[in-house]
Amino acid sequence: MHLKFFFIALYFAIVLMFFTGCEKENLIDGNPKTVNTNFTFVPTEFGSISTRAGVAVNESVVMNLWILQFDGTTDASVLIRSEYKASVGNLADLQIVLNQGANHRVLFIANTFDSELFNEANAPLNTYTYLQFKQKTFSISDEAGMFTGSTTKCLRMYGSYEGAVPNKNSSVLLYRIGARVNLTYTSEDVSSVIDGVRFRITSVQLKNVPSTSSYISNPFNSVVFTPPAVVDYPVTTGSQTGASGEAYSIGAYTGNVSYYMPENIRGVIATVGSQQQKPTYAPEKSTWIEIKGEGVSSDGRVNENVTFKLYLGNNLTSSYNINANTQYNITLKFKGVSLTDARLEVIRLSDIETFQEVVITW
């Protein structure tokens, strides 16, 4: 099985320039000294993802930006400067003002469309800590909670810089806050097989999705965390347009659908040796795709009701981690119905003969 990783991120090269009259002291008359800084945003190409009709989510646009500066890099560091830019304007020449200092952390949160999110009332200067920022979350009751904006749907993004302010020629990666799951399936004709039963799909559903997400995105995160609560996305049937604005098709024997979801790091179970074993050893609140359908014999009779469980992760076996800023491309080919497959719940019912999963980190 071939597993591919593509590291594709938005980044912006930061060019910090001293303006005329700046001095080296960090304080002027006891007050923090500010310096004008110039940021150049350079969005990278999105990479090897297939284009689909009807996509309303712009996964790479930066519409607005929160800039948060902390006086250090520990959890106890406090917020010393914040600014909300309702529009970014020229990505090649974004000017901001920061407090001059050494060993600071500067955070960039894009596409919140919320000018009050980190204002003085919600994140008071010299009081609000980095730990409090790490603990801040937004709610997700269904897939629509992953998107912001109206005319153009956007994904929230996160980036950070640590070091001296200003510091020339630094760059900051902007990671999308959330993962994307792309499912394509085929159920093959098994009429030539003696007593063959074909899996006829009726619905697809993404289950055990964390109901909250932090404003931090790290596609390399491996720290296991149990979400306080999980939700099931609505059942997907027929051929319509989903919450993302992207068309999907759930057909009886072929189909495709995409979902956006928050990070869910549920760990690695080393003893899991095959994809078929994943349901048996899945940690609590792991994310999975449920595919429901019927077992149809060659004469057209419905013999069984079938539920297929596909647990997601960064590999086909032991990983139950869904990382932010990562795209999971899954291709399923069903060949019949087997009662011995742990991924199937059969009422009196498909051995999935081929399974392919490709993980793409944006």
Q: 157 pairs with which residues across the strands?
A: 110, 176
Q: What is the pLDDT of residue 322?
A: 95
Residue by residue, pLDDT tens for the chain (362 residues) are 333 333 334 433 333 332 223 333 354 445 667 776 655 554 433 322 332 323 358 888 899 999 999 999 999 999 999 999 999 877 666 778 899 999 999 999 999 999 999 999 999 999 999 999 999 999 999 999 999 998 888 999 998 989 988 876 667 788 899 999 999 999 988 878 777 888 999 999 999 999 999 999 999 999 999 999 999 999 999 988 777 778 899 999 999 999 999 999 999 999 998 888 899 999 999 999 999 999 888 878 887 888 899 999 998 899 999 999 988 989 998 886 654 455 555 543 334 443 445 554 45
Question: For the chain, what's the residue count?
Answer: 362
Per DSSP, 178 falls in state S
pTM metric for this prediction: 0.83
Q: What is the pLDDT of residue 351?
A: 43
Contacts of 81 (CB under 8 A, 6+ apart): 32, 67, 68, 69, 97, 98, 99, 125
Contacts of 54 (CB under 8 A, 6+ apart): 241, 245, 246, 247
Distance of alpha carbon 183 from alpha carbon 334, whole angstroms: 13
Q: What is the pLDDT of residue 105?
A: 95
Is there a shared CATH topology between the 10-176 domain and the 179-361 domain?
yes
| Omega before 166 within 30 of 0, i.e. cis | yes
Secondary structure (DSSP) of 25-93: -SEETTEEPEEEEEEEEEPPP--S----TT--EESS----EEEEEESSSSTT-BEEEEEEES----TT-
Other residues' Cβ atoms within 10 Å of the Cβ of residue 207: 16
Q: What is the pLDDT of residue 96?
A: 83
* Strand 344-347 with 326-334, pairing: unpaired
Largest CA distance in the chain: 89
Residue with tokens 């932010």, as numbered in its chain: 324
Contact (CB, 8 A) for 31 and 121: no
- Architecture in CATH of 179-361: Sandwich (2.60)
Structural domain boundaries of the chain? 10-176, 179-361
- Architecture in CATH of 10-176: Sandwich (2.60)
